[in-house]
């Protein structure tokens, strides 16, 4: 009976998801040498699971752009923080910034109030160390902006881009400084939107994603 090395706090997750987050964190922290091969059996043994969930986690991370995965050749962590990853972050930043600008132009007052309430909830959580709740509030904030753009195509594209970064963001919320900066950035975006200042909303969001997302560490 292979037992997990340590008790998982969130029991509702699948092993593949857990591993995806763990491996993503490890790669971003530089625990693996750049260019090193991520051996399936080695990882499976290390985490005390079979190769199946490891494979699925690697597929997920490859699609997210964090690792390179070539058929029959296995996974490697790209020598330098993946070039495409930075490109994808920049792309996400542009999409989110567009949503912010459109929100400044098109949001109803009711939607503005809702956005503010989400922000307040996030601020309240800032005191507690509740990383999980914080992540949830962050998603709610951005989702409100996607909706506020009043364009389902743009909202959909942005949301789907954003979803790819979920495993990469997972660990960030543990960092107190990151949480604080995130809250401050959101505040700036919120102010620009309620002031209907499209250019400021755009700029604030661009800066937020550009700096807050896991850049080339």
Partner DNA sequence: GATGATTTGTACGTATGTATA
Partner DNA sequence: ATATACATACGTACAAATCAT
Site of interaction with a copy of itself (CB under 8 A): 12-14, 16-17, 52, 55-56, 59-60, 63-66, 71-72, 80-81, 83-84, 87-88, 90-91, 94, 98, 102, 151-154, 156-157, 159-161, 163-164, 199
Judged by beta carbon, residue 126 or residue 197, the one nearer a copy of itself is 197
For the CB of residue 125, give the shortest distance to a copy of itself in the complex, in Å.
24
Torsion of CA 86, 91, 97, 102, to 10 degrees: -170
Chosen from a copy of itself, DNA, none, partner binding at 46 (C-beta under 5 to 8 Å by type): none
CB 30 within 8 A of CB 47: no
Nearest Cα residue to 65 out of 154, 153, 167: 167
Q: Using the rule CB under 7 A, is 38 a contact of DNA?
A: yes
64-83: contacts with DNA (CB under 7 A):
70-75
Report if residue 204 touches DNA, rule: CB under 7 A.
no
Q: CA 83 to CA 99: how far, in whole Å?
A: 25
C-alpha closest to that of 138 among 182, 90, 203, 92:
182
């Amino acid at each position: 009976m292979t037992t997990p090395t340590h008790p998982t706090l969130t029991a509702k997750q699948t092993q593949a998801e857990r591993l995806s987050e763990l491996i993503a964190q490890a790669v971003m922290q530089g625990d693996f040498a750049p260019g090193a091969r991520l051996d399936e059996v080695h990882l499976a043994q290390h985490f005390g699971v079979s190769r199946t969930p490891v494979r699925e986690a690697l597929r997920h991370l490859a699609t997210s752009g964090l690792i390179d995965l070539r058929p029959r050749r296995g996974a490697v962590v790209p020598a330098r923080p993946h070039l495409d990853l930075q490109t994808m972050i920049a792309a996400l930043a542009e999409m989110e910034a567009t949503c912010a600008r459109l929100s400044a132009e098109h949001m109803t007052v009711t939607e503005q109030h809702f956005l503010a309430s989400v922000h307040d909830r996030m601020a309240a959580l800032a005191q507690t160390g509740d990383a999980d709740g914080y992540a949830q509030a962050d998603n709610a904030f951005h989702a409100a902006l996607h909706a506020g753009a009043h364009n389902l195509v743009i909202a959909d594209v942005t949301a789907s881009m954003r979803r790819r970064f979920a495993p990469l963001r997972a660990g960030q919320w543990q960092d107190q400084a990151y949480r604080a900066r995130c809250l401050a950035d959101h505040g700036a975006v919120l102010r620009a939107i309620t002031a209907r200042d499209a250019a400021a909303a755009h700029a604030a969001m661009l800066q937020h994603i550009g700096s807050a997302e896991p850049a080339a560490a």
